[in-house]
Chains A and B, each alone.
Chain A
Amino acid sequence: QQQVKQSPQSLIVQKGGISIINCAYENTAFDYFPWYQQFPGKGPALLIAIRPDVSEKKEGRFTISFNKSAKQFSLHIMDSQPGDSATYFCAGGTSYDKVIFGPGTSLSVIP
């Protein structure tokens, strides 16, 4: 009920390409879906987030697509750059409880 699934585990994309990471959740009480970005040796940092009342949110090159009926959401990184190489975590949470993180996706953007 609490699990957040994430795929792929690792991803290699060429510079300028589109990176896509998919997540699925089970808990229908979740009303907030953040994505975190973690660089080696650093703590995770909030990247972008969406609430289930919208189907898409875009911030610069980063877009979240949300499908409430399928209980799925995804992160798209347009024009991927080597500086985007990091581990990405999707998560689900509510306004009153802990957040549940997915297992993470290691993204490598090669020149």
Chain B
Amino acid sequence: DAGVIQSPRHEVTEMGQEVTLRCKPISGHDYLFWYRQTMMRGLELLIYFNNNVPIDDSGMPEDRFSAKMPNASFSTLKIQPSEPRDSAVYFCASSLSGAPAEQYFGPGTRLTVT
């Protein structure tokens, strides 16, 4: 079975540009999580969805960040405009209903904003 799929794996962009990160969760999973990981701040939860509905977006840093889940098999995280401090590894994870803590992580997208 395919795991969580993320694209692109690496993204280098200039400050001010729009960045879109993509995630395909494991088929049948009801929860989808977006995380950001940096050396300074560790693993931060940005937002999570249950059955395509955003449940908690309190971790989204500011209005420049937005996330959508138009269907059960696809989600996007968008940063507009991007800033150098957004440089991090962004992970998507999914899990089954009733077991949101048993998360399966994707390989991550390494974002560099210059």
Q: Which residues of B contact A98 (CB under 8 A)?
A: 33, 45, 48, 55-56, 100
**Does B106 make an interface contact (CB < 8 A)?**
yes
In which size bucket is the chain B interface? 20 to 34
From residue 2 to 38 of chain B, which have CB atoms closer than 8 A to chain A?
A: 4, 33
Which one, B63-71, B80-88, B91-99, is touching chain A? B91-99
Q: Which residues of B contact A34 (CB under 8 A)?
A: 101-102
Which one, A18-26, A41-49, A72-80, is touching chain B? A41-49
A48 to B98, CA, bound (A): 17
Interface size on A, residues (CB 8 A): 21
Over the window 99-111 of chain A, the binary record of Cβ atoms lying under 8 Å from chain B Cβ atoms (1 yes, 0 no) is 1010110000000
A71 to B65, CA, bound (A): 35
| Contact (Cβ within 8 A) B43 A43 | no
Q: Which residues of A contact B108 (CB under 8 A)?
A: 42-43
Q: List 23 A-B contacts (CB under 8 A).
A: A32-B99, A32-B102, A34-B101, A43-B4, A43-B91, A43-B105, A45-B104, A45-B105, A46-B102, A46-B103, A46-B104, A89-B43, A93-B100, A93-B101, A94-B100, A96-B100, A97-B100, A98-B55, A99-B101, A101-B43, A101-B45, A103-B42, A104-B42
Where the two chains meet, the residues of A that have a C-beta atom closer than 8 Å to any C-beta of B are: 32, 34, 42-46, 49, 89, 91-99, 101, 103-104
